[in-house]
Structure 1
Amino acid sequence: MLNTSMRTAYGEEHEQFRGQLRRFLDREFVPNLARWEKQGLVDRSFWFACGEAGLLCPAVPEQYGGLGLDFGYNAVLLEEMFYRGSVPGPVVHSDVVPEYLLNYGSEAQKQFWLPKMIRGEAITAIAMTEPDAGSDLGAIKTRAVRDADSYVINGSKTYITNGQTADLVLLAVKTDPGAGAKGISLMLVEATRQGFVRGPNLDKIGQKAGDTTELFFNDVRVPASNLLGEEGRGFAYLMNQLPTERLGNAIIAQAAAQRAFDEAVAFTKARKAFGKTVFDFQNTRFTLADMAAKLQVGWAHIDWAIKRHINKQLTATQASAAKLFHSELQFEICDNALQLHGGAGYMNEYPIARFWRDARVQRIYSGTSEIMKEVIGRSL
């Protein structure tokens, strides 16, 4: 269990929410995680359960059916869920997509989609990455061509979280191919549209409970009212929302790193070698001490970043630095924790194996570590 007694980002109400959330996750999440990993996606019933418990999109204002809570509640959810296991779908749905709708959507779009998202009736995805365009969003090729009162969309996306289950896709498209990044727009595409095709669920190294898919758009016609915000402003919208997404990934990384450390402490205290526990060897204690010190610093930084974000003070550069630091720390901690497990760490029956696998992608999605360094470097 995460020790939050010394945390500074949260108030009493956050911790009350955390207690309720822990009971929910221990009842609805933990017993099903292994099965979800085998089937490659989360049951729809879990989304409905989350909605009924008020856990989806908690920051959405009450006028759209939400609770109107601050980002601290999102952060609590991220910490507790990813301390138990890695299911990225609800993060995209609750932390990422609602912010786009709230900040750039029309009133009709908000009124129609947000209540459904909150109840778990409509699962959402955001689709930016393409086979030939990862970090370089300006290079995307998916087109949306205006035709009277509609847009006709052609192209494909890949590595899309919630791709198998999404009812609504927030899609980055080119509406002006000659304008580079300034020609990007955002479009809402319902999965029921003719010409929308899902590829097979992709076979990943880790995060196996999260469905990840290729999506294809073959003359998909959507009404012009499905445009999110203004035409040609999509890239700016994406850049504006990245601090939330990257801070979320930093929180995920820190919580998962803490779990890996806790697993290592428990295992080394129980495992015996040469007549004493593995924990009693100086190398083990020194390794764990180094990990503990880095985690202590990490939690202090996470609390700083959460408070800045709640106060709308967290910059894109600061969020990128948080994503870089914590995702790199996560993999270091998970790798050291697995090493302390010895051969047992390589066995899937031990939780550390899953946490180690799941950690690897954290340094890639939402901007690779190299891109984070580029963003930070440009600010110096």
Structure 2
Amino acid sequence: MGATTVEDLFGIDRLLTDDEKAIARTVADFGAKRLRPHVADWFEAGTLPARDLAVELGALGLFGMHLDGYGCAGTTATQYGLACLEAEAVDSGLRSFISVQGSLAMFAIHRWGSEEQKQRWLPDMAAGRALGCFGLTEPDFGSNPAGMRTRARRDGDDWVLSGTKMWITNAPVADVAVVWAQTDAAGGSRGIRGFVVPTDTAGFTASEIRHKMSLRASITGEIVLDDVRLPADAMLPEAEGMRGPLSCLNEARFGIVFGAVGAARDCVNTALDYAGTREVFDKPLSGFQLTQGKLADMAVELGKAYLLAIQLGRIKDGGAIAPEQVSLGKLNNVREAIAIARECRTILGANGITLEYPVIRHANNLESVLTYEGTSEMHQLMIAKALTGQDAFR
């Protein structure tokens, strides 16, 4: 009996339409030809050629691909998820690049922005001519973004923003930032509001965060807002309170549900190939029972994560997905993906710690994925709140 794949074991192809498979192949082919030959070097150097890649990814239609109009492809959620899966199979930083542009910055403008804001930014962002970032997290406020200290005060007809945002993907290379801030009472709009901020606005600076050991093929920054003066129409008119930023986070989390499967699959496939060619005591490593036990267990968890992602994609395409369902997918799939990456590293032995193989890179990246867009603990609480009706956040 010949070797088979996890997808074959679970009959994954039978669950996907021809269009879904075509999108996955397109992204996988682009990843194989354009990204995989360079990603280890980008990771080691702690950089990403964001501008060059943006135009290429835009030409493929990957930015805001699940949005309608304004140059966006208008795909289904499942098609978008499969694109994320194939992007993260190359590297989590690359999927994050796509997610932040499309599911955070573009989605915020598309869902909550004015028509003028949409026309101004979305076509260029979809094409990769303009890059966006999403300023929510602060140095002291990650899991509790409602406590943010960034303030927007009214001064005549203008808004003036002051504060700091931290761990903001794409910030140092972005042309526009969607920034969330507490508003004052004078503007008649108490609570958190979003603002579309061109990054060349006076008082806006974004410095790159270096010395990361995770998501190194990704550009991360700190945003400082020093009395950034904006016109009244810079505010996202439809977003008031935490509903706005949380809706964007759910979009990004959905991409992670699929993306984590891609990282785990790449690790399993690497381990299978390595174990099949590495000889130990005169036979392939894959012929030993302990190794086979590891591979079988990982295949089961990878397949279940695949099925969960597809199920959530179908629910989202039906328009009925709930935040706790996205939390379920994010919690399970990232948690299992990082466990798979660590286990695969043991199969590769000392070779598993080098960038000649992708496993340690995926493992390091997944440490960040485990944390951002809601930690595992926060998603546990969201799921448990749905189950019990009790809010344990406070």
Same fold, TM-score > 0.5, yes or no: yes
Give runs of aligned pairs for residues 302-313 of structure 1, distance below 5 A: 302-313=309-320
Q: Secondary structure at the residue paired with 2:374? A: coil
> Matches of 2:196 and 2:241 in 1, distance apart?
12
Matched, 1:31 2:40: no
Q: Secondary structure at the residue paired with 2:194? A: strand
Query: What residue in structure 2 maps to residue 247 of structure 1?
Result: 254
Q: Secondary structure at the residue paired with 1:221? A: strand
Conserved? CA contact 1:9–1:72, under 8 Å: no
Query: What residue in structure 2 maps to residue 154 of structure 1?
Result: 162
Give the drift of 1:39.
4.7
Matched, 1:370 2:370: no
Conserved? CA contact 2:193–2:241, under 8 Å: yes
Q: Deviations along 1:228-258, whole A, 9 cap, x unmatched? A: 1247x14111223333222211111111111
Query: What residue in structure 2 maps to residue 104 of structure 1?
Result: 112
Conserved? CA contact 2:338–2:367, under 8 Å: yes
Query: What residue in structure 2 maps to residue 300 of structure 1?
Result: 307
Q: Structure 1 unaligned segments of length 5 or more: list them.
A: none
Q: Secondary structure at the residue paired with 1:160? A: strand
Q: Secondary structure at the residue paired with 1:56? A: coil
Give runs of aligned pairs for residues 28-177 of structure 1, distance below 5 A: 28-37=34-43, 38-62=45-69, 64-86=70-92, 87=94, 88-176=96-184
> Matches of 1:265 and 1:282 in 2, distance apart?
14
> Matches of 2:366 and 2:46 in 1, distance apart?
20
Please list every run of at least 4 consecutive aligned residues from structure 1 whose deviation after the TM superposition is greater than 3 angstroms.
1-5, 7-10
Matched, 1:290 2:297: yes
> Matches of 2:265 and 2:178 in 1, distance apart?
32
> Matches of 1:50 and 1:2 in 2, distance apart?
28
Q: Secondary structure at the residue paired with 2:12? A: coil
Q: Secondary structure at the residue paired with 1:66? A: coil
> Matches of 1:301 and 1:357 in 2, distance apart?
24
> Matches of 1:59 and 1:290 in 2, distance apart?
34
> Matches of 1:73 and 1:335 in 2, distance apart?
28
Conserved? CA contact 1:9–1:304, under 8 Å: no
Query: What residue in structure 1 maps to residue 266 of structure 2?
Result: 259
Conserved? CA contact 2:48–2:217, under 8 Å: yes
Matched, 1:227 2:232: no
Q: Secondary structure at the residue paired with 1:55? A: coil
Question: 2, 8, 12: which one pairs with 2:18?
Answer: 12
Query: What residue in structure 2 maps to residue 192 of structure 1?
Result: 200
> Matches of 2:47 and 2:231 in 1, distance apart?
33
Q: Secondary structure at the residue paired with 1:216? A: strand
Q: Secondary structure at the residue paired with 1:164? A: helix
TM-score (norm 1): 0.93
Query: What residue in structure 1 maps to residue 340 of structure 2?
Result: 333
> Matches of 1:128 and 1:339 in 2, distance apart?
37
Letter in 2 for 1:124: G
Give the drift of 1:318.
0.7
> Matches of 2:183 and 2:138 in 1, distance apart?
16
Q: Structure 2 unaligned segments of length 5 or more: list them.
A: 388-394
Q: Deviations along 1:251-302, whole A, 9 cap, x unmatched? A: 1111111111111111111111122221111110011111111112111111
Conserved? CA contact 2:82–2:258, under 8 Å: no
> Matches of 1:54 and 1:247 in 2, distance apart?
18
Conserved? CA contact 1:242–1:316, under 8 Å: no
Q: Deviations along 1:116-165, whole A, 9 cap, x unmatched? A: 10111110111111111111012110111111221111110110011111
Letter in 1 for 2:83: L
Conserved? CA contact 1:268–1:279, under 8 Å: yes
Conserved? CA contact 1:40–1:201, under 8 Å: no
> Matches of 2:267 and 2:46 in 1, distance apart?
24
Matched, 1:238 2:245: yes
> Matches of 1:374 and 1:6 in 2, distance apart?
30
Letter in 1 for 2:221: T
Give the share of equivalent positions with the same residue, in percent: 27
Query: What residue in structure 2 maps to residue 343 of structure 1?
Result: 350
* Alpha carbons of structure 1 residues 39 and 371: separation in structure 2 relative to 1, 3 Å: closer
Conserved? CA contact 1:85–1:355, under 8 Å: yes
* Alpha carbons of structure 1 residues 205 and 122: separation in structure 2 relative to 1, 3 Å: same
Q: Secondary structure at the residue paired with 1:144? A: strand
Conserved? CA contact 1:164–1:213, under 8 Å: yes
> Matches of 1:241 and 1:164 in 2, distance apart?
21
Q: Secondary structure at the residue paired with 1:194? A: coil
> Matches of 2:324 and 2:65 in 1, distance apart?
25
> Matches of 1:26 and 1:347 in 2, distance apart?
20
